[in-house]
Structure 1
Amino acid sequence: MELMMQQRQELKLLMTAQLRQSIELLQYSTDDLEQFIRQQELENPLIELQDSSITTQVERLPSFKKLKRTALQPTDISKPIEENFRDQLMQMVKLNFKDDSTKKLLTYMIHNLNDNGYLEMEGTGSNYSTECITKGIELLQQIGPIGIGARNLEECLSLQSQYRYPEYPMLEEIIQHYLPLLAEKKWSLIAKNLKCSVSQVGQLSELILTLNPRPCSLMQIGSTEYLRPDIIVEEHQNELIFYLNDYYLPSIKLNEYYLTVPNTNRDDQQYIHTHYKNYQWLMNSIEQRRNTIIKIMHVLMKRQLPFFSKGLSELIPLTLKEVADEIEMHESTVSRATSNKYIQTPIGTFELKSLFTSKVATNDGGNISQEKVKTLLKQFIQKEDKLKPFSDQKIAEYFNTEHAIQIARRTISKYRDELNIPSASMRKQWK
């Protein structure tokens, strides 16, 4: 075996830490970007932050048809912050029961409720008998929503049916023994076993749908945390304008003191030089992120103009690649720049990525967006005869003949699932 040395020249693209962070910066929301900037101030002595006094840069689009203001406000998208319902129950126990043993039992049970209000006793080492637990469940019904403390779904629904519909004794029997068959809408089989009519089973099924399988959802009380949109689109003097909602970002200034201080120490010079490069990189990356989003928005404002007046149902087929080609960027760059961003429009607040939609071919060689097809599908199913609902194949044939839309049965099934619409057998109603 012969050992030898060879010299070779080759080109490689190395992913530096700064390049990696620059890519990550693209997909930050404006709130995330603010936190990142403030973190950089702590790590880099050359960075100083000041409260921003930058005037919003408004981007305009030529005149458009008057928008109809059926708008939801920017508070449309929110995240509930739930408080602990167990604390509420504990307060009710203290107010309604004086006996120490009863309070101790109910305290134990409340601490073993899951988030839906069901009692989970397995593995807790309970010293209470089944009779005590059953008595405790009865007491919980007096201070909490009916069904709280149940050990399973059947018990939860039974407690509610006894309270709300005592005149229907057959209802409890269906809950205890036939819930799986009811979920599959096998009403004929249930009617045969119970020796009643199918219409009676249908009536009882509708009553069960009024019961709450998660009783503690009624006790969730809390404030609301609002999402701040990253981009705002407004109507102004018959023009459609947009601007980035980044007015609250702090202004980044260079602390020139460290650049002017005489320093002969080589390590100190290298330290200042590194942090100065980091400052330049941060400024360039933020500006690049801003320009990228603006370029993407100009394309979306031109291509998706009907959306801004009528909503998601009027989206035109548009892919990330088509936008990337138009602004001469890579598709992955557009994908990152539109991630984790929300856009506030005159008709509501949406995820920015929801403005991109795939296309479905039509018989005349044209295209229609998936969102439009989903809207048509939902409208068609809402109007169908509930006694004879259409199968996915029949719906696909209807789209082909009536709307000239080429769509497969499995695609109809996929769209149904995304819209949370059950199958034909599950939609069927009985007289």
Structure 2
Amino acid sequence: MRLTQETKQTQHLAMTAQLRQAIHILQLSASALEEELECAYMENPLLEMEEGAAPLRDGHPDMDWMAHDFYGADDMNAAEDRMARDTWEPAAPVALSLEEELLREVDFCFSDGEKKAIAVFLIGSLDHRGYLTLPLTEAARATGTCVPDVTEVLRVLQSFEPAGIGARDLAECMRLQAERANLYDGLLRAVIERHLPAVAEGRYRAIARAEGTSLAAVQAAVDVLRTFSPKPGSAYGAEPPSYIRADVRLAFVDGKMQVTVCSEYLPQLRISRLYRNTADLDQETRSYIARRIYAARALIRAVGQRGETLRRVAEELVHRQADFVVAGAKGLHPLSRQTVAVALGMHESTISRTVANKYIDLPRGIVPLKAFFSSAVGAETDTVTSAEQVRRAVSDLIAAEDEQAPLSDAQIADRLSARGMTVARRTVMKYRTQLGIPSSSKRRRY
């Protein structure tokens, strides 16, 4: 056995701190980037805001004197005039949470302190659906009261808006809403009390046999049932409403598409001129300033790179998907991230990070950048169709079908094939499921 030594050359990309920061900045949404820059501004004393930049949301105690010192009184007055001319949209009304809405009703309905305390406890025990899953015995123990008192308070709570709130299961939730609508009797009552699982499975014939009635009567009862909310609390959501902010904007200038990065709301940072002369400072202070300058430059460079990359990717997307820009989903063509990456000379992961959590302001509204991508369907034939076009076609076919004889997945596949969209039955089933559309047996009406 001979032992030999061999030297090989390999390429290795070191993940430097600057590269990690650039990747991190690239994948941030507009709102997240704003927060990132505000934090950096607060933490790094060598960063300052440029004239006319978007103000920080919470302000900064040093901004007034810094701006006056560097820009002068005339420039400050001009900046104030510009701000006065800006058109500000009125603040959106603050949406109350479910808990806040219910607590407001408690103040009007309960004068007794003990019962009000029970009501507050029960409201705090509701889950995101608006259900009370806590046993009443535990509620009584936790509030130091008795089960009859808790039951009495719960009945009052269940009379609050939205209807169905405070229910302990789905059947009670449906019952509360039916009672509120004065419909809790006859077949609807029987369906709620005994046949909710069968309704979920579409077994209307079994319900009709069990209740000795017609399929049409069962269908009518189910139609009423479907007007009720199975999760009355979910309409409020667990989080306050969020507002989408566009990262890039598309405008038509002289008939041509023009993409610009939306940076007007971002803090425009630069390195402060207060620290130009460090000759009189000690070595430790000079070293600290040097590190902070290095960090500031790296951040500013990363933000600039993000903007340039975002602009290039957005331009490529709108030019490749011009029909989508104008017509919406029906104009979407097959387009992959890899195709865009090759065209721009970038890595596919860079494209993914660039479009992640990013939105573009189109003339027809704000849409996510990822909406510009769609996989190809029917690539084995001469006709290549985007997955979004197939989903839309499936939805349109089902919307126009005979409700008493709904189309099966195989029939939908045949009709798509006649339109030049060659897809398998399994593909139709996948897209139908993605659209939240039940199978033909559950869509059938009697």
Query: Which residue in the other structure is 2:127 paired with?
Result: 114
Q: 1:390 aligns with which of 407, 413, 436?
A: 407
Output one character per residue of 1:123-177: Cα deviation in whole Å (capped at 9) or x when no partner.
8352566554444343334444433322111012112223424474221121111
Taking only the aligned residue pairs, the percentage that are identical comes to 31
Output one character per residue of 1:6-44: Cα deviation in whole Å (capped at 9) or x when no partner.
999765322112211111111112332233233333444
User: How does the TM-score come out when normalised to structure 2?
Assistant: 0.80
Q: 2:265 aligns with which of 227, 231, 248?
A: 248
The separation in 1 between residues aligned to 2:230 and 2:387, in whole angstroms, is 34
User: How far off its partner does 1:213 sit?
Assistant: 2.2
Query: Which residue in the other structure is 1:17 paired with?
Result: 17
The separation in 2 between residues aligned to 1:250 and 1:163, in whole angstroms, is 52
Q: 1:160 to 1:250 in 2, by over 3 A?
A: closer
**Native 8 Å contact 1:93 1:143 kept in 2:** no
Q: 1:125 to 1:109 in 2, by over 3 A?
A: closer
Unpaired runs of at least 5, structure 1: 55-74
Query: Which residue in the other structure is 2:397 paired with?
Result: 380
Q: 1:368 to 1:95 in 2, by over 3 A?
A: same
Output one character per residue of 1:303-324: Cα deviation in whole Å (capped at 9) or x when no partner.
1111111112211111111111
SS of the counterpart of 1:260?
coil
Alignment of 1:56-71 (within 5 A): none
User: How far off its partner does 1:350 sit?
Assistant: 0.6
Q: Does 1:126 align with 2:140?
A: yes
Q: Which amino acid aligns with 1:118?
A: Y
The separation in 2 between residues aligned to 1:170 and 1:149, in whole angstroms, is 24
Q: 1:154 aligns with which of 154, 171, 185?
A: 171
Q: Does 1:413 align with 2:435?
A: no
**Native 8 Å contact 1:234 1:240 kept in 2:** yes
**Native 8 Å contact 2:164 2:232 kept in 1:** yes
User: How far off its partner does 1:239 sit?
Assistant: 3.1
SS of the counterpart of 2:155?
helix
Output one character per residue of 1:72-98: Cα deviation in whole Å (capped at 9) or x when no partner.
xxx9xxx99752333443443443444
User: How far off its partner does 1:407 sit?
Assistant: 1.0
The separation in 1 between residues aligned to 2:117 and 2:40, in whole angstroms, is 52
Output one character per residue of 1:358-391: Cα deviation in whole Å (capped at 9) or x when no partner.
1112675131111111111111110111111111
**Native 8 Å contact 2:175 2:184 kept in 1:** no
* Range moving further from structure 2, 239-248 or 196-205: 239-248
The separation in 2 between residues aligned to 1:248 and 1:163, in whole angstroms, is 48
SS of the counterpart of 2:322?
coil
User: How does the TM-score come out when normalised to structure 1?
Assistant: 0.82
**Native 8 Å contact 1:48 1:255 kept in 2:** yes
**Native 8 Å contact 2:139 2:150 kept in 1:** no
The separation in 1 between residues aligned to 2:284 and 2:342, in whole angstroms, is 46
**Native 8 Å contact 2:270 2:300 kept in 1:** no
SS of the counterpart of 1:279?
helix
Q: 1:112 to 1:404 in 2, by over 3 A?
A: same
Output one character per residue of 1:378-407: Cα deviation in whole Å (capped at 9) or x when no partner.
11110111111111122112212x112221
**Native 8 Å contact 1:259 1:272 kept in 2:** no
**Native 8 Å contact 2:128 2:238 kept in 1:** no
Query: Which residue in the other structure is 2:35 paired with?
Result: 35
The separation in 2 between residues aligned to 1:308 and 1:129, in whole angstroms, is 63
Unpaired runs of at least 5, structure 2: 55-88
SS of the counterpart of 1:14?
coil
**Native 8 Å contact 1:52 1:247 kept in 2:** no
The separation in 2 between residues aligned to 1:255 and 1:174, in whole angstroms, is 72
Query: Which residue in the other structure is 1:68 paired with?
Result: none
Output one character per residue of 1:258-287: Cα deviation in whole Å (capped at 9) or x when no partner.
453226966555444443433332333222
Query: Which residue in the other structure is 1:140 paired with?
Result: 157
Q: 2:373 aligns with which of 346, 356, 361?
A: 356
Q: 2:308 aligns with which of 275, 288, 291?
A: 291
SS of the counterpart of 2:12?
coil
Output one character per residue of 1:200-249: Cα deviation in whole Å (capped at 9) or x when no partner.
11111111112222334577899854221111112344333221110233
The separation in 2 between residues aligned to 1:393 and 1:422, in whole angstroms, is 14
Output one character per residue of 1:36-89: Cα deviation in whole Å (capped at 9) or x when no partner.
2333334444433224469xxxxxxxxxxxxxxxxxxxx9xxx99752333443
Query: Which residue in the other structure is 1:189 paired with?
Result: 206
SS of the counterpart of 2:127?
coil
**Native 8 Å contact 1:141 1:147 kept in 2:** yes
* Range moving further from structure 2, 379-388 or 205-214: 205-214
The separation in 2 between residues aligned to 1:32 and 1:319, in whole angstroms, is 26
Q: Does 1:86 align with 2:96?
A: no
Q: 1:226 aligns with which of 238, 243, 250?
A: 243
Instruction: Name which structure has the greater RCO, CA cutoff 8 Å, separation 6+.
Output: 1
The separation in 2 between residues aligned to 1:53 and 1:167, in whole angstroms, is 61
User: How far off its partner does 1:107 sit?
Assistant: 4.1
CA RMSD of aligned residues (A): 3.2
Q: 1:280 aligns with which of 274, 286, 297?
A: 297
* Range moving further from structure 2, 411-420 or 141-150: 141-150
**Native 8 Å contact 2:278 2:286 kept in 1:** no
SS of the counterpart of 2:129?
coil
**Native 8 Å contact 1:82 1:220 kept in 2:** no
